[in-house]
Chain A
Amino acid sequence: MASLARLKVGKPGTGRVIGDRFFGRAVRIYLPLLALLVVTLFPFYWMAVTSFKSASELFDFSVSPLWVREPTLDWYQHLFTQTNFPHWAFNTAVVATVSTLISLFCSVLAGYSLARLRYRGADSIGWGIFVTYLVPPTLLFLPLTFVIRELHLFNNLWSLILTYPTFLIPFCTWMLMGFFKGIPRELEEAALVDGATRIQAMLRIAIPLALPGILAAALFAFTLSWNEFLYSLIFMNDSLVKTIPVGVTQELIHGDEFFWGELMAAALLGSVPVAVLYSFFVDHFVAGMTAGAVKG
């Protein structure tokens, strides 16, 4: 009897008409999604299209600007042979990678300790870190400039590698603290009773389980330092040590003269690594963003 009753009850929602469902989904989900995609992707499209146009086509207003008639790689060639773009790209990659690694190392330890260890002042330290994050770089750059000058680090990549963690560490710590708090305390307690030290419990249990969160934090940190503008603008004056955002805006625009082809090519190339990283880690990233929402 019970099994018979169970047979009759289908999955919820299967009773509806197929066509109706498809149309409903299209209107409710895909249409708004499409609109959003168009809005967000259009600048990228514009960038890409412009970067492949020849100089004559670029300023020919008699044709539609939305596509290319004769694609050319001239601007890319210019960018790599006649500007310091390769240096900027290298600098950006080094600075973003190293400062991300430094920040992650500190934030994993800080986040773990704030989430797990009971010590005097843990709460106030947690809030202190959060407040630090709220201080805008537009204020912080003044004292930091002083520090960098005292350390004689102007025009040195270390100036950025050392200053980026000032906003990355608070951000990542706060984020990772949440992740570590989401891991049941009992798992590590079981490890401690099983014979692990606190450090072993952290390395073998907590960190592997927080990996989605750590990856998400890494991605954010990398993106933030890749795109960072203000500190880079202030600390780096020599063309060879600039990062992409500063190099591009300072050296591909002279007064009111815009080198549109190179600008667009550089902007496109500058956004590629971040896009690649995101798509590479998208599964982990999404898992990280939604961790704790449902029980895995």
Chain B
Amino acid sequence: MASVTYEHVTKKFSAETTAVDDLSLAIRDTEFMVLVGPSGCGKSTALRMLAGLEEITAGEIKIDDEVVNKMAPRDRDVAMVFQSYALYPHMSVYDNMAFGLKMRGSPRTEIESRVKEAGRILRLDKLLIRKPRQLSGGQRQRVALGRAIVRHPRVFLLDEPLSNLDAMLRVQTRIELQKMHQRLGTTFIYVTHDQVEAMTMGDRIAVMKDGLLQQVAPPREIYDQPANMYVASFIGSPRMNFLPVTISDHQAKASGFELSLPKAPGVARGILGIRPEHFLPTVSGDDAIMDLKVEVLEVLGADQYLYGKVGSDDVIARVDPQLKVSVGDLVRLGINMGRLHLFNAETEKAVF
């Protein structure tokens, strides 16, 4: 159990490539923190620096109050689950899980009881004598988790641990991971590019892009109050609609409609952000409206998505699946003003 602190941490692989740029992030004890972002955003590098697998170019990383910059990986008392699982192919499941304890010189009886316990928790008890190549993907993944939990580390680091599993197993393992976090009461730091994993598992989410931290907040806040257009577009599926508007006082004018903003934003050019799920189901007299020319329909049973144009802008809208619409129709959509976002067109930062 430990807290982890990144203080102005920078990682440069060369003079030109900065993987992590001035990252400051405080992860609380027992927290489940998810680092999310597209590939190459620096999230894995941030994790690897904490594990001691990458040197830190500038700044400090602390576990509890101890600076670990120069500490060897073995002395940091963290456990890591790799995307490829990195199981030792020449060792049995038992030896894979016992390796860390053996390296630390734990007594044989303790190693045995801890490995057996982890085997029971992860339903690997019958597979302990097998080699990794004789296991399915899901079993390998559990061995990788087992190797981490037998050590009772201060911090768990998970680097895209679910991305090699098929969709069904991924959902199942996601839930198991959450249970494991609750039972172990240890700090988890979880790296993923998958927004669903981030939203469902994280106590807090740190969104990264191009080595820069974009926003750190609980999932709901990330969804409700994205700090900038990047976060707004990354979280939520289908992604938020962005409509450029020119603003004079309260009035915002887009290519296909006009509306009156709740307050004057103080910028001349903005981007309106409306999530596809935030159009009003019914339109009444004084609602702000837009007319969507439907180009593509997707009926998913529970939902119906309309893809089309409002003026010259692309818009996606989720509507009642019972609504009878066909391609080419003009559909009138009401805008939920309470769910409306406005971004500064220059800085892409949220105005509200």
Contact = CB atoms under 8 A, between A and B. Distances in A.
B53 A193 contact: yes
Nearest to A187: B86
Interface in B69-95: 72-74, 76, 78-80, 82, 84, 86, 88-90
Interface string A182-218: 0010110111111111001000110011000000000
B88 A187 contact: yes
Contacts of A193: 51-53, 73-74, 76, 78-80, 157
A192 B52 contact: yes
A19 interface: no
A197 B78 CA distance: 15
A170 B126 CA distance: 47
A189 B88 contact: no
A196 B74 contact: yes
Nearest to B51: A193
Most A-side CB within 10 Å, residue of B51, B73, B89, B99: B73
Interface residues of B, number: 24
Interface string B152-163: 000001000000
A136 interface: no
Contacts of B151: 194-195
Nearest to B77: A195
Nearest to A194: B100
Contact of B90 (A191, A196, A208): A208
A186 B88 contact: no
A205 B51 CA distance: 19
Interface string A141-174: 0000000000000000000000000000000000
B100 A195 contact: yes
B53 A192 contact: yes
B72 A189 contact: no
A189 B86 contact: yes
Interface in A16-48: none
B80 A190 contact: yes
Contact of B89 (A189, A191, A296): A296
B84 A184 contact: yes
Contacts of B133: 296
B103 interface: yes
Most A-side CB within 10 Å, residue of B53, B78, B86: B86
B86 A186 contact: yes
A296 B132 CA distance: 11
B324 interface: no
A199 to B, nearest CB: 12
Interface string B99-117: 1100110000000000000
Nearest to B79: A193
B193 interface: no
A200 B105 CA distance: 13
A296 B80 CA distance: 24
A194 B103 contact: yes
Contacts of B82: 186, 189-190
Contacts of A192: 52-53, 72-74
A186 B100 contact: no
Contact of B103 (A187, A189, A195, A296): A195
B318 interface: no
A229 to B, nearest CB: 39
Given A186-B84, A192-B73, A296-B89, 9 more contacts: A187-B88, A193-B53, A193-B78, A194-B74, A194-B79, A196-B99, A200-B103, A209-B89, A296-B133
Interface of A: 184, 186-187, 189-197, 200, 204-205, 208-209, 296
29 contacts: A186-B86, A187-B88, A187-B89, A189-B51, A189-B53, A189-B86, A190-B80, A190-B82, A191-B88, A191-B99, A191-B103, A192-B53, A192-B72, A192-B73, A193-B51, A193-B74, A193-B79, A194-B79, A194-B100, A194-B103, A194-B151, A195-B74, A195-B151, A196-B74, A196-B99, A197-B72, A205-B88, A208-B90, A209-B89
